[in-house]
Chain A
Amino acid sequence: QLQLQESGSGLVKPSQTLSLTCAVSDGSISNGGYSWSWIRQPPGKGLEWIGYIYHSGSTYYNPSLKSRVTISVDRSQNQFSLKLSSVTAADTAVYFCARAVVQGVPRAFDSWGQGTLVTVSS
């Protein structure tokens, strides 16, 4: 059973960069049948897709966040990471990492991390 675990700073100051890592266990991040995603959920609100990365390293980002987002993969550590720059209070959310089954494009998110709350505040 694949497991995903988010880690990183829970409190970030405005204008700084949010950094999170998702450790993947009981499965290889290099499996070509999947992409690796970040999804967030502001308190009391719905899910927002941030972006994903394929095992090849190709990335796709939500256009509304694209200028501030970087997703990268570390195959040696079997993990992938999120960096979101110039954060504001609007970036306060629970951040989930997730695996998507792909067939050229993402079909569904079949495994999720437990989520980690990131608060943007001075």
Chain B
Amino acid sequence: QSALTQPASVSGSPGQSITISCTGTSSDVGGYNYVSWYQQHPGKAPKLMIYDVSNRPSGVSNRFSGSKSGNTASLTISGLQAEDEADYYCNSYTNSDTLGGVLFGGGTKLTVL
């Protein structure tokens, strides 16, 4: 069981918007603005899509946005496209000694219908 909780799967039709949640605790997601999101296509390395909760790296589409409320962070993809079908992982720093410094969520499989 991952320390950050994500839904196993989400789906949406082209053009729609979807949101993926990532729930942690006050020791990680809720306590720091160091939440990031990664997109991973099959057989490929993860790609950074959002960092510091809501910032997009250069080159990432503005259809991707991030937010946080309390201990839950969210990734929203608007105007869904077929190429968005992938696995998505959230990541956060944690100050928990028992968990170490870095946490990943269990991943969410996005299906574009």
Tell me which residues across on chain A come within 8 A of B2, comparing CB atoms: 46
Tell me which residues across on chain B come within 8 A of A109, comparing CB atoms: 36, 38, 46, 48, 91
| Known A-B contacts A46-B104, A46-B105; A107 and B36 likewise in contact (beta carbons under 8 Å) | yes
Q: Which of B12-20, B78-86, B92-100 contacts A (4 or more CB under 8 A)?
A: B92-100
**In the complex, how many angstroms separate the beta carbon of A47 from the nearest chain B beta carbon?**
4
Which among A66, A101, A106, A110 is the interface contact of B102 at CB below 8 angstroms?
A106
Tell me which residues across on chain B come within 8 A of A113, comparing CB atoms: 45
B70 at the interface (CB under 8 A from A): no
Asked whether, in the complex, the Cβ of A108 is within 8 Å of the Cβ of B91, the reply is yes
Tell me which residues across on chain B come within 8 A of A101, comparing CB atoms: 51
Q: Which of A13-21, A25-33, A57-65, A71-79 contacts B (4 or more CB under 8 A)?
A: A57-65
B64 at the interface (CB under 8 A from A): no
Q: What bracket does the count of chain B residues touching chain A fall in?
A: 20 to 34
- Inter-chain CA distance A51–B99, complex, in Å, is 11
The 5 closest A-B pairs by CB, nearest first: A108-B51, A108-B36, A49-B102, A112-B45, A46-B107
Chain B contacts with A in 1-16, Cβ cutoff 8 A: 2
Asked whether, in the complex, the Cβ of B102 is within 8 Å of the Cβ of A108, the reply is no
A-B contact pairs, 13 of them (CB 8 A): A46-B89, A46-B107, A47-B46, A49-B102, A49-B103, A101-B51, A106-B93, A106-B102, A107-B51, A109-B46, A109-B48, A110-B57, A112-B46
| Known A-B contacts A110-B51, A110-B57; A105 and B45 likewise in contact (beta carbons under 8 Å) | no
